[in-house]
Amino acid sequence: MSKVILITGASSGFGRDTAETLASAGHRVFASMRDVADRNRPHADALRAAGIRVIELDVTDDASVERGVALVLEQAGRLDVLVNNAGIGCAGVSESFTADQVRALFDVNVVGIQRMLRAALPAFRHQGEGLIVNIGSFMGRVTFPFFGLYGASKYAIEALNDSYRYELSQLGIDVVLLQPSTYPTNMFASAQRPADTARGDAYGEIGTIPGKMVETLMDRFQGEHAPDPHDVAEAIAWLVEQPNGSRAARVVVGDPFGADLVNEQAASVQSQLMEGLGLAQLATLRVVSPTSGN
């Protein structure tokens, strides 16, 4: 059945591929991005040419988020799936990133999701159903040195995702976290670089490691066995098609680097915790009649 889907950060990378994949599957897709009339105009035009609706939406701006979601509801009459894909990366000696840089990182990667959820959830609650797919990372479970600030934002999404999954389960709203591995997208090319380079220089030879790590990843991405970023779009398309109540809380895509093992252990701990709190029922999605409202 065709669904109305809103995707953030859809100008390129996972978001662009996901928009095109879901539209090809027959869904009514709204691809959102910043600077539709300027920097992202070529991307917006290409998506429109493929029959995908494009809307201006900046996840760091409350008013922009509210306008974007309202526009989807106005044009489509409902919203079935929200894919929170917008995000930025960073790589370098952690000390060399300024507080302003870290604040900007979290504003997109974490607070941006909160803005989107606050804008979309009233419609989902009214409908009595909905699917939220939050794009996390394997780095939200395991830590790569020199990528720790990016990982910290993804660790935050882990808690945010679980809390919303529990809180919304009895309202018929499903929340799933996708944990992609390393893939050849523009994330590394557009990632934040340290503003205070002198701090990194003070680390001597250690300070050269992040650059070498990125080079190694770039070489891997050019190799014969490079991971295919389309895996992520396919995983999201698969989640969209799954019946309500059947989706896993987390889905790892690509090399897990041990994140799958952490997921298993954390799930066991969470299950015991919820039972101890007397809230075990919140771990299971209640499929609510769409006509009942909330």
By annotation, the residues acting in catalysis are 150
Q: What count of other Cβ atoms lies within 10 Å of the Cβ of residue 164?
A: 19
Q: In what order do the strands lie in the sheet with 53-56?
A: 53-56, 28-33, 4-7, 81-84, 130-135, 173-180, 250-253
- Residue 277: φ, ψ to 5°: -80, -5
Q: Distance (Å, rounded) from C-alpha 172 to C-alpha 127?
A: 9
Token couple for 187: 């994330």
Tell me the three-class secondary structure of 106-174, residue by residue: HHHHHHHHHHHHHHHHHHHHHHCCEEEEEECCHHHCCCCCCCHHHHHHHHHHHHHHHHHHHHHHHHCEE
Cβ-contact 108, 61 below 8 angstroms: no
Measure the CA–CA gap between 37 and 244, rounded to whole angstroms.
37
d(C-alpha 167, C-alpha 80), whole Å: 18
User: How many Å apart are CA 266 and CA 99, to the nearest integer?
Assistant: 30
